Amino acid sequence: MLSVIFAADLMAVQPGLVLWTVVTFVVLLVVLSKVAWKPILHLVEEREKTIHGAIEGARKDREAASALLEEQRALLATARKDSAEAVRKALADAEVARQDLVAKSRKEAEDLLARARQQIEEDKAKAQAELRGVVVDLAIEVAAKVLGDHLADATRQRALYEQYVNDLPRERRAG
């Protein structure tokens, strides 16, 4: 039963207790507003400013990063273009050099062939002249042996034989 009486006391409105509770609440509210409320609001405002600053900084950083990204893309495109141009130029230079080498080689081959032909013609002419001399000498010796006597004028006979041998190729061409 005691508990019922005690519970009834707790639920009863006591005006003195209510007054002191309100006075304590108001005093606590005034003290907290003077001591804690302003510093807490000041800290909240500072935190809000810090957050806004961080957001603004992040936005600026994002814009800067975006600008740098565009700049890097432009530089990359320029580098690709420049490298492609350099490769094209190198290929064109290589083709010109190849054509020059081919032309130079062709010219050297033609010069070598012309010199070889000229040398062959010179050697052929020397061989023909030497052969004519040998033929003339053999003809004179044969004629001298056939006649049994040395020819009176060997120099004159040699000139006649050389003229005859030189005329032989002309007669073949004409005939």
Average pLDDT, the chain: 83
Q: How confident is the model at residue 131 (pLDDT cuts 50, 70, 90)?
A: confident
Q: Work out the percent of the chain whose per-residue pLDDT is above 70.
A: 82
SS3 74: helix
Q: How confident is the model at residue 152 (pLDDT cuts 50, 70, 90)?
A: low
Contact between 161 and 139 under an 8 Å Cβ cutoff? The reply is yes
CA distance 151 to 148: 9
Tokens of 24: 């304590």
Would the pLDDT of 151 be above 60? no
* pLDDT on residue 15: 84
The residue type at 105: S
Least confident of 14-23, 33-42, 65-74: 33-42
pLDDT, tens digit, for every residue of 46-83?
999 999 999 999 999 999 999 999 999 999 999 999 99
List Cα–Cα distances, 59 to 52, 62, 68, 93, in angstroms: 10, 5, 14, 50
Q: Which residues are CB-contacts of 132 (< 8 A; sequence separation ≥ 6)?
A: 162, 165, 166
**Model-level pTM?**
0.41
Query: H helices of 36-153, where?
Result: 38-147
Q: Which residues are CB-contacts of 166 (< 8 A; sequence separation ≥ 6)?
A: 132
